Amino acid sequence: MIGLWHYLAVAAILFGLGLVGFLTRRNLITMFLCAEMMLQGVAINFAAFARYHGNLTGQVFVLFILAVAACEAGIALALILVLYRRSKTLDVSAWQSLREVGVPPTIDLEPLPPPPEELADPVLPPAGRMPPSAKEAAHV
C-alpha cells in the first residue's frame, strides 16, 4: 500500500533535482524550468497531505501555486526576452557584472569545442552546351 511517506519522498527527490538544475545550469530558460520542477515537488506534498487528512485545503493551496506559477512564467518570459535583446544570449553569466562587490568573477577557462562545420551548398556542374538541333525549317 502506497502511503503518505512515499509521496513525500518522491516530492523531496523532485525538489532536490530541481535544485541541482537551478544551481548548475546556465541557460535562463532551463533554470526557470528547474524552478518550476521544484514547485511541482511542493505541489505533490500539498496534494498528498490533502489526501491524507481528507480535506481539500491542500488542493486549494496547489491551485494558488498554479496561479502564482502562471504569473511567474509571464514575468520571467518578459524578463528573459529583455535580457536576450540586450546581450543576445540566454547565458546568466553574461550578467555577472551585477554580482556583489568582492565576489570574484566566473571565468570560463575551457575553450568551447569548435562549431560543427556547415555543409557546403551542393554545386551543380555547369550545364553542357546546348545540344545541336536541326534548324527548324520554317517556310512561311
Partner 1 sequence: MSLFAVRPDSSDSGQLVLAAILAVAGAFLLLPRPRGRWVAGGIAALLVAAVVAGLWIHRHFGEPGADWVGKLLFILFACGAVVFGTVLVAQRNPARGAIAFAFVILSTCGLFLLLAAPFLMAATVIIYAGAIVVTFLFVLMLSAANGPTGENDRSREPLLGSLAGFAFAGLVLFALNQAHATSRADQPEALRKWHGLTPLPTPLITPDERHLLAQAAEDLKQLEADDFYPPTERTHQDRAATITRIEEALGDYSVGLRSAQIEGSTEYGSIHQRLGGFRVDRPADAVLKQTEAIRKDAARVLARVESAMLSPDTAVHDEAKAAVRKLRAEVLLLAGAGELPARNTAGLGHMLYSEHLLSIELAGTLLLVATIGAIAIAHKKGAAA
Q: Is residue 84 a contact point for partner 1 (CB under 8 A)?
A: yes
Q: Is 21 in the site for partner 1 (CB under 8 A)?
A: yes
Among 101, 112, 137, 138, binds partner 1 (CB under 8 A): 112
The candidate with the shortest Cα–Cα distance to 50, out of 37, 60, 40, 65, is: 60
Burial of 11 (0-12, 13-18, 19+ CB in 10 A): buried
- Of positions 102, 104, 105, 116, contacts partner 1 by CB under 8 A: 116
Q: How far apart are CA 61 and CA 133, in angstroms?
A: 84
Show Cβ contacts of residue 126 under 8 Å, excluding neighbours closer than 6 positions: none
Contacts (CB under 8 A) with partner 1, residues 43-62: 43-44, 47-48, 50-52, 54-57, 59-60, 62
- Of 100 and 131, the one with the shorter C-beta distance to partner 1 is 100
Residue written as cell 566566473?
Answer: 106
Write down the H helix ranges in 57-140: 57-87
42 binds partner 1 (CB under 8 A): no
Q: How far is the CB of 76 from partner 1 (least distance, A)?
A: 9
Give the one residue of 97, 98, 105, 110 binding partner 1; rule: CB under 8 A: 110
